[in-house]
Amino acid sequence: MAQHWQETLPVDQYIVASGGLLHEYDRKVLTFLYQPLIGPACLSLYMTLWAELEENRLWSEPVKHHNLMSIMDMNLKDIFHARQKLEGMGLLKTYVKNGDEGRSFIYELQPPLTPEQFFLDGMLNVYLYRKVGKNQFLRLKRFFSDKSVASKPDYDEVTKAFQDVFLSVPTDALKHNPDSASDLRAEDGNSFIGRTEPSKIQIDPEEFNFDLLLGGLKESLIPKKAFTARVKEAISNLAFLYGIDALKMKNIVLSAVNSENEIDIEELRKAARDWYQFEYQDQLPALLDRVQPAQYKADIDKPKTKEEELIHYFEKTSPRQLLIDISGGAEPSKADLQIIEEVMFKQKLMPGVVNVLVQYVMLKTDMKLAKGYIDKIASHWSRKKISTVNEAMQLAKNEHRQYLDWADGKKAPTSQGKRKPVRKEVLPDWFEKKREGEPEQQTESPDMDPDFEIEKKKLEEELKKFKSGR
């Protein structure tokens, strides 16, 4: 992934454009429905770009990114990543031109979904529900809805139709008549000012393995013609939303087939949601960065040392994939995934930081993901506001004595008591086993479990594979 300074510089010029007129009501939609998902920095960037547009016009004056940094009181790195989130959410389109005088950007603001589109989206509404909770979600739904005219049955409609009000005359009777169709169109290079249709979030169907799905379904069960473009779009969205692979999707699709051998999209959504809630104890998925966010990554393009290779691996790998790699390709248990999910949600730790935590804890607890132990360290890291892989590694090195006592269920030693001999700990390769000023650790007891030694060697081999980029 390219670094922000390779994509944008403060001296680069930009112009704000609009894909159509933005309405005042859009501010409420962006503030209450989008902001919980994208955060205040993204909302601030959108509103700032919007403010640069002239009233009722579609283009702003050109300005440099340095001005945007000053107005928002944000560095270019944070602005760049906020811009990417707006793009991913369908709220911004970015165009770039490289010229002799440098780069020039066009930021085209896209209108948000209407409240009805948002609450029926099938993805964003699920993420919002998980983010704000049931009570706030229902409150927002009430806020963006009102009584319809149809709810007043005592009234009869008396609206006149067009032909009842107006009379048409032949065109040759008109004094001024357009000479050609070109008189009716906007001039070349221009477009009429209006409102464009907001685009929904759509996961590329190429991301889902439809060949594997269709291979597991017999033509007699579901005809291939049932997989229309709309059905494929729904399947790819649901697969991303709930983390469903092609093999698991087969049974979900089968449950959504109606009597006419067609796939009911609403039934498909319900079946996918029911599957996820059954798997994860009535929980709903949340919108999270799948790997370490770019702004919290180390600027390591080509790792030179073993430690840099491991940092690079932790930053580009999701915690779920880390568990799969450690177990040699086996899927992690539901209990382990739930522990990881709670750490990320409750303690707000970054994915790369969670990777360091998982490796550290498993090495110190005989390959077990002990919930109480991992929660205690995660809470400590959260209070210390650890956000990068390197910070997590350094803190683990500095506090390993304290963490060792937590693992053994002991209180921190007092200055009056004598320190008991410490058994040799299994530590990651990035961990300095002997720090300056510390005594040598005691050797292992002769009756150490031999199975533990075997598991230790296996894990050390796996870690070597991680650092080699596997």
Q: Give residue-wise pLDDT tens across range 294-309.
A: 777 887 767 778 888 8
CA 267 to chain CA centroid, nearest Å: 25
The answer on pLDDT for 418 being more than 50 is no
C-alpha 132/C-alpha 126 separation (Å) is 10
Q: What is the pLDDT of residues 322-371, one digit of tens each?
A: 888 888 777 777 778 778 877 876 777 888 898 999 988 888 777 788 88
Q: Do 274 and 325 belong to one domain?
A: no
Amino acid at 349: L
Query: Of the residues 113, 146, 165, which one is the last residue of a structural domain?
Result: 113
Q: What is 263-326 written as a DSSP string?
A: B-HHHHHHHHHHHHHHHTTT-------SS--GGGS---SS--SHHHHHHHHHHHS-HHHHHHHH
CA 207 to chain CA centroid, nearest Å: 16
Contact, 8 vs 65, CB < 8 A?
yes
Q: Is residue 43 part of a domain?
A: yes
- Comparing CA positions, the residue from 274, 221, 284, 281 lying closest to residue 248 is 274
C-alpha 364/C-alpha 360 separation (Å) is 6
Q: Do 306 and 452 belong to one domain?
A: yes
The answer on pLDDT for 404 being more than 80 is no
Q: Do 92 and 26 belong to one domain?
A: yes
Q: What is the pLDDT of residues 181-228, one digit of tens each?
A: 565 566 666 655 556 666 666 677 777 888 888 887 876 678 888 899
Report CA Rg, the chain. Answer: 29
Share of the chain above pLDDT 70, in %: 73
Query: Among positive and negative, which fits the CA dihedral 18, 19, 25, 29?
Result: negative
Q: Count other Cβ atoms within 10 Å, centred on residue 286.
A: 14
CA distances from 322 to 102, 112, 353, 379, 403 (A): 41, 36, 12, 21, 22
- Comparing CA positions, the residue from 394, 396, 391, 397 lying closest to residue 297 is 391
Tokens linked to 55: 């009233």
Read off the pTM: 0.54
Which range of residues forms the domain containing residue 79? 10-113
Q: Do 403 and 447 belong to one domain?
A: yes
Mean pLDDT lowest among 22-26, 33-37, 265-269, 435-439: 435-439
Domain count, the chain: 3
Q: DSSP assignment, residue 431?
A: S
Q: Is residue 152 part of a domain?
A: no
* Amino acid 415: pLDDT: 43
Q: Count other Cβ atoms within 10 Å, centred on residue 277.
A: 14
Q: Check which CATH number belongs to the domain holding 60 and give it.
A: 1.10.10
